[in-house]
Chains A and B, each alone.
Chain A
């Protein structure tokens, strides 16, 4: 066909320029593909971090704020008071003085919620699954008989404990992991109220020289480790998992037992499109509760993972847009220059009876081919960029800071002060930049659009062309 013959010959004649334009477009779209790949990798890493906290399949978490802490109240709660005159430990009004070891399992990060609320949420529309659990902190401290004025307060050690309702639900942090040693919980572990068995996170076990068969002390109770659980890389998992019933029996919140209670409810919607609806329905049902989706939880993650994510979304995106715009501009200028050089040729074709639109179609066809070629090259550049990032990028870190709900009061002759200890978890994450199908399709589309924009500039030139003026040009 004459159109394709002419097109092919012209591209071959201007091979160097065509390749130059295609390379420019390839660089621009390649950068877009790489930025999208890194962004996709960041999102996956953040999702992995959150999955360790809240488990696979959780779209929403429902929690309640803990009761406000009153530093001046002498009733309720778990209080440690230390000073030069002695130390006192009070648990819901029951106090003891002198040197002692404290091991308190508490759910002070969130307020207690009756298990019946889980069933209420399960009855809402568009809800596929609901599960409840206890997110607890085990705080251990050796309290001295007294703390001299100006002396440093003793520090506490703590670890996360998750009360797992494995009988009724597969949601929650436990579901993200894989038991890599020993065994998981069984029905017998749930129904036996005195079964003190635990599954421990593999990283925590390694750090504390624990293995299957060892014991771990939770709330002054020795739990036998029956299995080790490995969570996805980059996640923020609990350290110890115990059956929900044992957690409810041992833990307290503001001095009150947590029998029959949970403090985190995990919800899965029937589809991603239903998440906002379900979120609204739960908020309507439980107006004083906090309903959080995965996207808002991402804001809790800090560290270099979060910093790089922000850098990619701001600087990276703008850089890609700038390079792409430059590539489009250069392609446009080169196309106009090429059309200008062919003015005599186009004038002759018009003299032969070719209408402007036929000449324009020829130019646009050449541009489209350059665009497709540039897009495919750009995909290659994107894959190359992604491979380079996978190979040389540094390991990032993700940090999540969680309140323990504890309040440490120290009183001195000058007054008393309250500190709220937090737990900071930082995990390393290997950065990856997977190229997605969406990025590939977008790359080719952007390149073709850029080339066609350039072609349209040349086409405008052709449309303005008067044959007599064109023929008057000296070749």
Chain B
């Protein structure tokens, strides 16, 4: 599904050039769960942005299903993000003035659906994350765990191929963390998603099929259970 070839991302910080990602070559299979660990500032989120078409590499290519994302126009990238990728953020990133249902609906607006179809899908998405009874609540009326569930519902409502989660449990307590990770795992299995999770929490990474560690912009795979799972 993903093919990254010698991908580097550099930023200008004043007079200095900082390499957030250095020469990463990586393949991600369809339906795989990849977790990327690492300390803050070592390029994990940058890698996720490159996978999600939110940023372009300085050098190298990021291909998704054979398409070089870095060569697409902004309009094409927006369409790919809208159709194929779902995002979950550490700080939930819900629109504070919209209700849970309206936040989920926001992900369907670029797809040009009829409002009746949007409402049906939103109801189904909230049901799948166990928040059907909170549809009319705004984020300030929801707990952290509930807000993250709404964010997950927003990510999956368009039935994406890939779910990209940036520290999805970073702002949650231990019990809620486990609930969210369990939810992500269930959705990954039930919907055959490709799941990439950025996390500094080993307890979360442990549940993935493959775990990589980002250090100073480079990625090393430290565990890969895909073949053994296939063998089973």
Contact = CB atoms under 8 A, between A and B. Distances in A.
Interface of A: 1-2, 5-6, 9-10, 12-13, 344-345, 348-356, 358, 466-468, 471-472, 475
B96 A352 contact: no
B159 to A, nearest CB: 13
B102 interface: yes
Given A352-B109, A468-B55, 12 more contacts: A1-B115, A9-B97, A345-B93, A348-B93, A351-B81, A351-B87, A352-B87, A354-B106, A355-B74, A355-B75, A471-B49, A471-B54
Nearest to A468: B55
A405 to B, nearest CB: 79
B161 to A, nearest CB: 13
Contact of B110 (A5, A353, A467): A353
Contacts of A10: 97
Contacts of A353: 78-79, 81-83, 107, 110-111
Contact of A2 (B55, B97, B102, B111): B102
Nearest to B84: A353
Interface in B122-161: 154
B187 interface: no
Q: 8 closest A-B pairs (Cβ-Cβ)?
A: A353-B82, A9-B97, A468-B55, A353-B110, A348-B93, A467-B54, A468-B49, A468-B54
Contacts of A468: 46, 49, 54-55
Given A9-B98, A10-B97, A13-B97, A349 B106 contact: yes
A180 B67 CA distance: 93
13 contacts: A2-B105, A2-B106, A2-B109, A5-B98, A6-B98, A13-B97, A345-B95, A348-B89, A351-B52, A351-B87, A354-B109, A356-B74, A358-B110
For chain B, the bracket of interface size reads 20 to 34
A223 B69 CA distance: 103
A471 B89 contact: yes
Contacts of B102: 2, 5-6
A14 to B, nearest CB: 9
A147 B79 CA distance: 104
B105 A355 contact: no
B70 interface: no
Interface of B: 45-46, 49, 52, 54-55, 74-75, 78-79, 81-83, 87, 89, 91, 93, 95-98, 102, 105-107, 109-111, 115, 154
Contacts of A475: 91
B81 to A, nearest CB: 5
B70 to A, nearest CB: 13
Contacts of B97: 6, 9-10, 12-13
B167 to A, nearest CB: 12
Contacts of A352: 81-82, 87, 106-107, 109-110, 154
A355 B79 CA distance: 8
Nearest to A345: B95
B53 to A, nearest CB: 9
Contact of B93 (A1, A344, A472): A344
B45 A13 contact: no
A107 B91 CA distance: 92
B74 to A, nearest CB: 8
Contacts of A12: 97
Nearest to A10: B97
A472 to B, nearest CB: 7
B64 to A, nearest CB: 15
Contacts of B45: 472
Nearest to A355: B78
A250 B105 CA distance: 93
B106 A350 contact: no
A12 to B, nearest CB: 7
A354 B110 contact: yes
Nearest to A463: B74
A358 B115 CA distance: 17
Contacts of A355: 74-75, 78, 110
Contacts of B55: 466-468
A330 B151 CA distance: 36
Nearest to A467: B54
A264 to B, nearest CB: 72
Contacts of A348: 87, 89, 93, 95
Interface centre among A351, A353, A356 (most CB of B within 10 A): A353
Contacts of B49: 467-468, 471
A355 B81 CA distance: 10
Interface centre among B83, B97, B105 (most CB of A within 10 A): B97
A475 B105 CA distance: 22
Nearest to A352: B107
A449 B38 CA distance: 51
Nearest to A469: B55
A234 to B, nearest CB: 57
Given A468-B49, A471-B49, A472-B45, A351 B54 contact: yes
Nearest to B80: A353
A468 B51 CA distance: 11
B149 to A, nearest CB: 16
